[in-house]
Chains A and B, each alone.
Chain A
Amino acid sequence: MNWFKRIKVGITTSTKEKKETPEGLWYKCPSCKAITPTDEHVQNKYICPKCEYHEKIGSAEYFSIIFDDNQFKEINANLVSGDPLNFSDTKKYTDRLKATIEKTHLHDAIRTAHGKVNGNDLMVACMDFNFIGGSMGSGVGEKIARAIDYCIENKIPLMIISKSGGARMMEAAFSLMQMAKTSAKLTLLSEAKIPYISLLTDPTTGGVTASYAMLGDLNIAEPGALIGFAGPRVVKETIGKDLPKGFQTSEFVLEHGFLDYIVNRKELKSKLTKTLEMFKN
């Protein structure tokens, strides 16, 4: 299988570099198993051309998809979670953090950047799933809080792209309190009448769902994303039977009234532009 090379998602290589990937590299869709040339897959915003499966991508990819000419100003890029509990499970948390930072070239599971979307200002806080499962700790909470301050100060709308397994256990109650912190902070954004769009992507679960991801003025999602509070395995264990088909998908969550719309990644930028202009004009 070594001639199939799955795209490493969320790495900080720019789209331009990816486009230059030599021929002969292929993307295999985990959903329908269709094989697509990598450059074509990238062109297609990492969506399988055959079945529309949206591959998990990271902040670098989202920024390049959303921001005009991939131009943006990142803020608080070097902020890192501390380790106030001196936490250790099978590994020391500080070692885990260090290894993850080296591996991903990211500092935490979220990046915050100000750029333009077809000329409209937008602050985008985008989570990276490959940073400890996109888990929310002090770093994520603080970066969101500072992004909100920035939005209030500069009067620009906020979009948070969620992609998370939930809380970061190694930060225990500090992680839990980031739910309170981000939600409390969002009341200030709301008071300033600044729009907040929450984009839920695959997967958004746990404490992220139970805080900022569900608190958008608009809650929107990519198709086919897993969205829920409890993970499907836990729900299955609780009810003691198989889950119905489509349970906890974006479509399911839309149907139950918790999303405003589902947007294909190919239409994300245009729909976002339209949405921002509705708020503006």
Chain B
Amino acid sequence: MVTYLEFEKPIEELRNQLENAKQIAEKSKVDMSQSLKELEKKIEETTREIYANLTPWQRVMVSRHPDRPYTLAYINSLTGGNWIELHGDRTVKDDKAMVGGFGMVDGRTIMFIGQQKGINTKMRQYRNFGMPNPEGYRKALRLMKLAEKFNKPIVTFIDTPGAYPGLEAEERGQGEAIARNLYEMSKLNVPVICIIIGEGASGGALGIGIGDKVYMLENTWYSVISPESCSSILWRSWDFKEKAAEALKLTASDMLNNKLVDGVIPEPLGGAHNNHEEIFATVKKYILNSLTELDKLSPEERVKQRINKFCSMGVVHEM
């Protein structure tokens, strides 16, 4: 069952028409290939037009599209299933909202880490809606240090509505866990590539987001707060989320313009949810190309460049 967002309704309608026409053609044995072709063309044009004019808020909705691939789908596809999931932070428990493990891509071992959202109602609960607890960030850091020890590059997939704001999360130091990751990731001596594949909400996203290359998929968002929460705090109402989404400049292209990320990974026509295989292939290409580039630098040079990059972010002036 395909899910359509409100603004995707014209696409849904055309696809239904196409389906009907196909059935009629089948039953009546009349040659309808010409009109089928035209319908297909129209679907493509409509999709292109809709996706070329998405508002920031609509992109936020695409980033949360239930049919979008999540972290485990990327890892499975990129490694062709040749990977080993690793569990636990060695202190408290295994956080199901943060997954990771060694995987093989074209004969090279990579440490994959990412937030994981659930694929159905039951799994969404199990994955805590992709909101890690402190043990999730500590599990991620443990895996990164493991990768560093054995000189394996790290790829993180970011997709979270935020770090979990629960009681135990506070008891176990959510703030400290994220802070520690920012600090430690800054000086990891192996290549680190971070890719926002869905939602990049605030410190919960940044907690696995300090990389030599930080990419955003075309229809994702990354900011300090969700548009909904921003609306409720700054406008004191939930009704200004569209306005907030615009003001926050949270889309991939805005983030690239502001030099806060290193690149935008194009999505298939109609979004990543429209063609999983294509987005997996594109992401794989970006990872391998980036690794080739990063391999040329010494670990010291990479760390220096990484730290300098983040330290240059910000706009100030003298008064």
Contacts and interface: CB of A to CB of B under 8 A. Distances in A.
Contact of B179 (A80, A141, A212): A212
Nearest first, the 10 A-B pairs at minimum CB distance are A230-B165, A209-B175, A82-B315, A138-B314, A183-B182, A229-B175, A89-B234, A184-B186, A229-B174, A176-B224
Interface string B225-237: 1000010011100
B129 to A, nearest CB: 11
Interface stretch (B4-12, B102-110, B148-156, B246-254): B246-254
Nearest to B166: A238
16 contacts: A79-B317, A82-B315, A82-B316, A85-B258, A138-B316, A167-B225, A169-B234, A174-B258, A174-B314, A180-B209, A215-B179, A215-B180, A228-B174, A230-B165, A243-B167, A248-B170
B179 A213 contact: yes
B293 interface: no
B165 A235 contact: yes
Interface of B: 163-167, 169-176, 178-180, 182-183, 186-187, 202-203, 206-207, 209-210, 222-225, 230, 233-235, 244, 247-250, 255, 258, 260, 306-307, 310-311, 313-319
Interface in A210-237: 210-215, 228-230, 234-235
Given A169-B224, A173-B248, A184-B186, 16 more contacts: A79-B316, A82-B316, A83-B315, A88-B247, A142-B314, A173-B224, A186-B183, A206-B203, A207-B224, A210-B178, A210-B179, A214-B179, A215-B180, A228-B170, A238-B167, A248-B170
Nearest to A93: B247
Q: Which of B172, B206, B316 has the most CB of A within 10 A?
A: B316
Interface of A: 78-85, 87-90, 101, 107, 137-139, 141-142, 145, 167, 169-181, 183-188, 206-207, 209-215, 228-230, 234-235, 238-239, 243-244, 247-248, 252, 256-258
Given A173-B223, A243-B167, A248-B170, A180 B318 contact: no
A228 to B, nearest CB: 5
Given A174-B315, A256-B173, A85 B247 contact: yes
Contacts of B183: 183-184, 186-187, 215
Contacts of B173: 214, 256-258
Contact of A187 (B223, B260, B307): B307
Contacts of A139: 316
Given A186-B183, A213-B175, A84 B258 contact: yes
Contacts of B209: 180
Contacts, number: 194
A170 B225 CA distance: 10
B95 to A, nearest CB: 15
B171 A183 contact: no
B319 A209 contact: no
A123 B236 CA distance: 38
Q: Which of B164, B169, B171, B209 has the most CB of A within 10 A?
A: B171
B317 A80 contact: yes
A30 to B, nearest CB: 24
Contacts of A179: 179, 182, 203, 206
